[in-house]
A and B are shown apart, each in its own frame.
Chain A
Amino acid sequence: MSERYFQHSYSNGLTLLGEKMPGMQSAAMTLLVPAGAASDPPEASGAGAVLSDLLFRGAGPRDSRQLTDYLDSLGLQRSSNVGVHHMRFSCAAVADKVVEALGAYADVVRRPHLPEDGFRAARELALAALAGLEDEPRQKVMVLLRERHFPWPLGRNTMGRKQELENLTLECCRAHFGRMFQPRGTILAVAGNIDFARLRDEVERHFGDWTGQEPAALELRPPPGRFHHEQHASEQTHIGLAYPSIEETHADYYAMRLAVEALGGGMSARLFTEIREKRALVYNVWAGYSSLKGYGSIMGYAGTSNDRAQATLDTFIVELHRLAEGIAADELERARIGLKASTIMQGESTSARAGAIAHDFFMRGRIRTLDEIKNAIDAVSLDQVNDYLRRNRPGEMTIVTVGPTPLRMGG
């Protein structure tokens, strides 16, 4: 492919991606299994959340403690979590140790023990996390926003639902594992100090004979409604809002990203300038692009005192509509250098690159090189951005608030 980027498809449907990063001692791995919360069984929201914990409670030749001790002895900085589309497993360490860990990760996704006592604890922890969400209105508002903005099951809370978690059984988790954990659509990406030929053979050894049926496609249902207020005796009113945008593969993608950067990127971007710097309505305000496959969206947040919440929401919406009138040349140039610099600096982190190439492959079926991204950002003209904005005025907004008093929405 090139001297830096590598790709290999195995006959079972697994894809291996690699990026060789000069000067690095470390490597980072991202493994995406298409078993995200969207594919939780219809009446078992949270099965994936429980499973992502349970998978590490013993796998292959190691019991729970042996497995954890082994991964720790390699010095791995690791995490695993459930997203909408995928269950994600990540780790980073000195490069050799990451390659050495592949066998244990193969055990986790192919040969987990899924024990009864571990299941009860994992379910308890999932319920605890859900209860804890009630204490954090800033997080909760975004969960509620996703539920109302995206079609079901894409908007599902990845942490699950209380009632369904309480009724969840080990048999259900085991069946879910059997259905979802298979190589087709699974992406394994490694970035850093790598030898791709060796990596390819190691992955073949650990994952080459993995088989399974591709799960059925999701059936989507429209989201429940555009406006919602959740009563909460909080200090601030937490506001989340969202509206549809284009997909990552759309020809206008870079023009859109630059426009969003001008809206909510740096401290000179519009939201920060108008809502925080000029009016001092908030400490925290942001907006960004959210890329679910098939459902690109702009999502935003603001947190503010209750007596100033209406003014904050109104100003936020005015700014979203004003963006459609276009941005100025200097705003575009700041957005451009901002996006380019963060792209270049991403090249300093093995973890960031492993995550990025895996994401690219899922969204586009290929890796974008850092040069391709830089060139694409450079190629966008002001006319293209403003033409895009004219043609893509903010559509129907989904607005959710968490706080003591409801606000007027969409008025």
Chain B
Amino acid sequence: MPLTFQHQQLANGLDVIAEANADAHSIAIGMFVNTGSRDEEPAINGVSHFLEHMMFKGSEKYTWQDVNRIFDEMGARYNAFTSQEMTAYYANVLPEFTQRATEHLAHLLRPAIRQEDFDTEKKVILEEIAMYLDDPGHRVYEQAMAEHFGEHPLSQSVLGAAQRIRELTRQQMQEYFARRYGPGNMAVVATGRVDFPAFVELVERYCGRWPRVDAPRRYPQPAYAPRRKSLSDPKLNRHYIMGFTPGPSAQDERRFAARVLSDVIGDSEGSRFYWALVDKAIAEDADFGFYPHDRCGSYYLSLTTDPDRAHEAMQIALSELEKVKSDLNDDEVERAKNKIASSIVLQGEIPLGRMRAIGGQWLYNREYRSLEQDMATLRAITPQSLRDLMREFPFEPMTIVELGPGKA
């Protein structure tokens, strides 16, 4: 399964990158834009995600019916996602549809944003916001991000608040689009069965005339503090806890070690949290994970428990975070590395999985990393790398937000 990487920049500054896999049955094409909720002014919070929806509502040439119909005529697996720092549009198709899918994605990214469609889609966005309000895990996540990042733009929710969305205008969205979407702030990514020279020609044909945009991102220093917040909702049955604490950034070489360390501490099975909390049924979910951002990073802790045992579970989780600093052992590091190595192999076999990894990596670092490089970096990680990391990022200060039914 030899994978080959190629990169070319078009005259307008658009990066085209590809990782070809001759054994793949499909091609995944993604348009990655370096923009998300952290790039929004508070008054337009939620616009990145709403705009992502509007892309599917048609260009000057196509109506929303055309957009969906053309994707479905290719049998494409297609969608889009928006995060705090990135918005991506993708289609996974059989190789014979490479030209059509590229052309169609290019159309998608030149949206008409018609007033009537804007008004209709606003209702769908409000439904999406309502749906997440029925998901306590998501509620506590949004609150914890907001508390942890405080005044920093990463505190802003991806969906935005319902009231902000109601007030948002088409003009504000147009203006945001014009200053964030374009060569210089995005990359076109292909993985799987791709012929690179032919692909570059296609991208040149359909995106070669897009005007370059200069879309700087602000990088203020987050002001971390050990913040606590308790929320209650009497209809809930379980208690949900989420904590955030600083970790390495998406640019930091130590991010690989941070992933290994996170699995040692809080993978869903066989980790320290698993044995201390889940195995004993003190918490039904106990995760510790790593969440790299652009020039900063976070570890997170997430617990779901009986309301009566929430305090106990939190104390155990915090004491495990202290303990691992002094008694980390070689075997657990090796096991975590083996699990990650498997996931790298499995991801490498699926074009859509590679597209996400490569596109994200490119936006953050303008860098390609092969599976072999990832594997070599992983192998070189030692228990000492993790100990060093814990001295640099000692799991404090930590912001903790809880959501439960409240005092009985």
Which residues of A approach B to under 8 Å, CB–CB?
22-26, 64-65, 68-69, 71-78, 92-94, 97, 120-122, 124-125, 128-129, 131-132, 134-138, 232-236, 238, 265-269, 272-273, 276-278, 280-284, 303-305, 333-334, 337-342, 344-345, 347-351
Inter-chain contact B65/A128, CB cutoff 8 Å: no
CB distance from A104 to the nearest CB of B (A): 13
CB distance from A281 to the nearest CB of B (A): 8
From B23, B127, B238, B343, A283 is in contact (CB under 8 Å) with: B127
Bound-state Cα–Cα, A256 to B348, Å: 35
Query: Is the CB of B284 closer than 8 A to any CB of chain A?
Result: yes
Binds A, one of B67-75, B107-115, B208-216, B355-363: B67-75
Sampled A-B contacts (30; CB under 8 Å): A25-B349, A26-B342, A26-B345, A65-B275, A68-B274, A69-B331, A72-B270, A73-B338, A76-B339, A93-B342, A120-B281, A121-B281, A128-B304, A128-B306, A131-B238, A135-B238, A138-B131, A235-B131, A236-B134, A267-B68, A267-B78, A273-B68, A281-B123, A284-B127, A305-B130, A337-B73, A338-B72, A341-B93, A345-B92, A348-B24
User: How many A-B contacts at CB < 8 Å in the complex?
Assistant: 198
Chain A residues, CB < 8 A from B65: 268, 273, 277
Inter-chain contact B346/A235, CB cutoff 8 Å: no
CB distance from A308 to the nearest CB of B (A): 8
Bound-state Cα–Cα, A25 to B21, Å: 13
Chain B residues, CB < 8 A from A339: 75
CB distance from A141 to the nearest CB of B (A): 11
Inter-chain contact B24/A69, CB cutoff 8 Å: no
Bound-state Cα–Cα, A357 to B51, Å: 41
Inter-chain contact A128/B270, CB cutoff 8 Å: no
How many chain B residues touch A (Cβ–Cβ < 8 Å)?
Answer: 68
**What 10 A-B pairs have minimum CB-CB distances, sorted nearest first?**
A23-B23, A341-B75, A75-B338, A124-B281, A337-B75, A280-B123, A266-B72, A75-B342, A283-B128, A128-B284
From B64, B72, B122, B238, A265 is in contact (CB under 8 Å) with: B72
Chain B residues, CB < 8 A from A136: 134-136
Inter-chain contact B349/A94, CB cutoff 8 Å: no
Bound-state Cα–Cα, A268 to B278, Å: 43
Chain B residues, CB < 8 A from A349: 349-350
Q: Assuming A72-B338, A342-B75, is B124 touching A283 (CB within 8 A)?
A: yes
CB distance from B118 to the nearest CB of A (A): 11
Q: Assuming A125-B278, A236-B134, is B343 touching A77 (CB within 8 A)?
A: yes
Q: Assuming A131-B238, A333-B73, A341-B93, is B345 touching A94 (CB within 8 A)?
A: yes
Chain B residues, CB < 8 A from A93: 342, 345-346
Query: Is the CB of B146 closer than 8 A to any CB of chain A?
Result: no
Chain B residues, CB < 8 A from A273: 65, 68
CB distance from B4 to the nearest CB of A (A): 14
Query: Is the CB of B369 closer than 8 A to any CB of chain A?
Result: no
Query: Is the CB of B168 closer than 8 A to any CB of chain A?
Result: no
**CB nearest neighbor in A for B122:** A280
Chain A residues, CB < 8 A from B78: 267
**CB nearest neighbor in A for B70:** A268
Which residues of B approach A to under 8 Å, CB–CB?
1, 23-26, 56, 64-65, 68-69, 71-78, 92-94, 120-128, 130-131, 133-136, 235-238, 269-270, 274-275, 278-281, 284, 304-306, 331, 334-336, 338-343, 345-346, 348-351
Inter-chain contact A94/B342, CB cutoff 8 Å: yes
Q: Assuming A121-B280, A277-B64, A342-B75, is B131 touching A236 (CB within 8 A)?
A: yes
Chain B residues, CB < 8 A from A131: 237-238, 306
**CB nearest neighbor in A for B66:** A268
Q: Assuming A134-B237, A137-B134, A280-B124, is B349 touching A72 (CB within 8 A)?
A: no
CB distance from A70 to the nearest CB of B (A): 9
Q: Assuming A26-B349, A267-B72, is B77 touching A282 (CB within 8 A)?
A: no
Most buried by A among B24, B136, B284, B348: B284
Chain B residues, CB < 8 A from A128: 238, 281, 284, 304-306
Bound-state Cα–Cα, A92 to B124, Å: 38
Bound-state Cα–Cα, A339 to B76, Å: 10
Q: Assuming A25-B1, A233-B235, A272-B68, is B349 touching A348 (CB within 8 A)?
A: yes
Q: Assuming A68-B270, A97-B342, A349-B350, is B134 touching A276 (CB within 8 A)?
A: no
Bound-state Cα–Cα, A337 to B101, Å: 14
Bound-state Cα–Cα, A303 to B128, Å: 9
Bound-state Cα–Cα, A268 to B198, Å: 29
Q: Assuming A68-B270, A344-B26, is B346 touching A266 (CB within 8 A)?
A: no
**CB nearest neighbor in A for B279:** A121
Chain B residues, CB < 8 A from A233: 235
Known: A75-B340, A93-B346. 11 other contacts (CB 8 A): A22-B23, A25-B348, A26-B349, A138-B135, A305-B127, A305-B130, A338-B72, A338-B75, A341-B74, A345-B26, A351-B346
Bound-state Cα–Cα, A72 to B56, Å: 42
Chain A residues, CB < 8 A from B26: 341, 344-345, 348
Q: Assuming A131-B237, A132-B237, is B339 touching A92 (CB within 8 A)?
A: no
Q: Assuming A73-B338, A77-B339, A125-B284, is B69 touching A303 (CB within 8 A)?
A: no
Bound-state Cα–Cα, A64 to B279, Å: 10
Inter-chain contact B69/A268, CB cutoff 8 Å: yes
Q: Assuming A73-B335, A128-B306, A280-B120, is B270 touching A348 (CB within 8 A)?
A: no
**CB nearest neighbor in A for B284:** A128
Chain A residues, CB < 8 A from B121: 280
CB distance from A334 to the nearest CB of B (A): 4
Chain B residues, CB < 8 A from A129: 284
Inter-chain contact A276/B124, CB cutoff 8 Å: yes
CB distance from B350 to the nearest CB of A (A): 5
Most buried by B among A134, A135, A342: A135
Chain A residues, CB < 8 A from B238: 128, 131-132, 135
**CB nearest neighbor in B for A352:** B350
Chain B residues, CB < 8 A from A304: 127
CB distance from A267 to the nearest CB of B (A): 4
CB distance from B24 to the nearest CB of A (A): 6
Q: Assuming A132-B238, A236-B134, is B306 touching A334 (CB within 8 A)?
A: no
Inter-chain contact A75/B339, CB cutoff 8 Å: yes
**CB nearest neighbor in B for A234:** B134
Bound-state Cα–Cα, A24 to B125, Å: 40
Bound-state Cα–Cα, A280 to B53, Å: 12
Bound-state Cα–Cα, A255 to B400, Å: 53
Chain A residues, CB < 8 A from B136: 135-136
Chain B residues, CB < 8 A from A22: 23
Chain B residues, CB < 8 A from A78: 269
Inter-chain contact B131/A303, CB cutoff 8 Å: yes
From B56, B93, B304, A132 is in contact (CB under 8 Å) with: B304
